[in-house]
Amino acid sequence: MTITSFNLVAKDPKWGIRHLQVLFLFLCSTLTVAQRFNMSVAIVALTNANSSNPNYPEYRLTEQQKFYIISSPFWGSCCTQLMSGYLSSRFGAKMLLLGIMFFTSIISIATPFVLAWGGWQLLFCVRLIQGLVMGGMWPCLYTHLAKWCPKREANRLGGVMTTGLDFGTVMGFALSGVLSASSLGWPSAFYVPGYIGMAWCLLWLRYGANCPSESRFISLAERKYIELALEKSQVNHGETPPVPWLEILTSRPFIVLALVKMSQACSFYTLMQQIPRYIHGIFRYSIAVNALLSALPFVIMLMSSYSFIFLAEYLTRRKDISLAILRKTINSFATWTPAVALVILSYVGERNVVGSLCCMVAATAAISGQAIGSSLNHVDLAPNFAGLLFGISNTLMSAAGVISPIVIGLAVTNESDRTQWRAVFLGISVILFLGNLMYVIFGEMTVQPWNEPQTKSTTTEVAPKTAETPVKAMEEPALYVERFNYF
């Protein structure tokens, strides 16, 4: 009876609540990213009413003030990544994600009123607070994924979750441009994702759960399948492992992972934040055309993300390729291809619109492989502390999001000057090359020893055999029957 029950549980349910949880995570990242990057397009509309809808107010901002407003969410997110990773690892991610989405949406809805009432200074402060709230999202997402996702499904489900970043970027660019040019004007670029975020909160409050054992809607078969798949790498439910801070901060695989993520952030955030300015400065298109062209590379990025997911699934299941080779190969393609594309973009002719767009599309399409190549490596190294690890590395990534627009603002004083853009693109290419080179040489994809808490039970397992060993052996079958006899 026990063996039959175990076999039934071992058959993974093809569709279940774990997929619903991943869908929620996908939508959460989509809406949060859209609310972060809609300013990159909206700021063009609100400072140049003739390029969008002249019926709405226009504000005069200097280039430096624009950079401060665009980068302000990243200033805030630097401060909460680590705390969010720690809290979500210890107490679960459900209520943290609910609070993050609620306050982010409220601030997004209030953005037009803030600008009208307090000018760019108050807008900077409010966007800074929004960044503080947003900063906790990504660590929570990875913590929640680690609680719901069996390792054999990590590439597929984790890849789907991270494509919310791509989809949110498309929404932030394309939807913001279309809304700004519509009869609703540029304020709607903040209203629409804000109200959708409020609807997400209501659904998440009902259907979200920190882990399978807390879900009211999961089937018994799916719950046991997930718990059995995770029990080798995660602690028992209700057990709170101490955080091995020294081991984490001195772990070579994690240090290398954090550095490569920071190098990738330099290219990703530069493309996200500066493509609208680059297209506007070089080609002088209207806001609607600018937004659509800015979103085009990220539409291709979204499509290529699923290609990487299917490729990873095929290689690991059909070709039996090791996880280390898979991660490093995909990450190399996802990092070095943008480096080459940015070098080519630096020397494309001034009138060559198609060539410039092809370079940007190639760079962003390749970047989508970073989710499979290195982002999921946090879960590989320590499932129990995945959110905390991502909080640390994402703090460094957010720092790149702060530094990048400021440095570019100093380097690109004339957005129509291609030589100034060339210096920026070539510098990022060098950073990308060196970052991935370290990852290829020193990166690891195995669970680290400090992932497991040092408890009395683990000490007992390695203790020498004594005269009581036969008695314990007699007790083990009883524990096994209790653990596996579910039906």
DSSP result, 145-201 = HHHH--GGGIIIIIHHHHHHHHHHHHIIIIIHHHHHHSTT-TTHHHHHHHHHHHHHH
Averaged pLDDT, groups of 10, the chain, 487 residues long: 40 78 93 85 77 76 80 76 81 91 94 89 91 86 86 78 82 80 86 94 94 89 83 50 84 91 81 68 66 71 78 74 85 90 83 79 80 79 81 79 73 75 86 91 88 53 41 35 30
Q: What are the CA-CA distances from residue 99 to residues 109, 201, 211, 406, 420 (Å)?
A: 16, 8, 18, 30, 41
CATH 1.20.1250.20 is right for the domain spanning 16-221+244-454: yes
What is the pLDDT at residue 183?
83
Helix H or strand E segment including 330: helix 323-347
What is the pLDDT at residue 184?
85
What is the pLDDT at residue 119?
86
Helix count and strand count (H, E) for the chain: 21, 0
Interior CA angle at 394 toward 158 and 67, to 5°? 120
Tokens 């550095």 locate to 259
Q: What are the CA-CA distances from residue 51 to residues 45, 65, 116, 290 (Å)?
A: 6, 20, 20, 10
Task: Answer yes or no: are the C-beta atoms of 145 and 28 closer than 8 Å.
Answer: no
What is the pLDDT at residue 283?
67
| Three-class SS state of 415 | coil
What is the pLDDT at residue 434?
92
What distance in Å separates the CA atoms of residue 391 and residue 234, rounded to the nearest whole number? Answer: 19
What distance in Å separates the CA atoms of residue 389 and residue 344, rounded to the nearest whole number? Answer: 34
What is the pLDDT at residue 453?
62
What distance in Å separates the CA atoms of residue 160 and residue 312, rounded to the nearest whole number? Answer: 12
What distance in Å separates the CA atoms of residue 92 and residue 80, rounded to the nearest whole number? Answer: 16
Alpha helix (H) ranges present in 368-385?
A: 370, 377-381
Residue 29 neighbours by CB under 8 Å, 6+ apart = 137, 138, 141, 161, 162, 164, 165, 168
Task: Answer yes or no: are the C-beta atoms of 360 and 341 closer than 8 Å.
Answer: yes
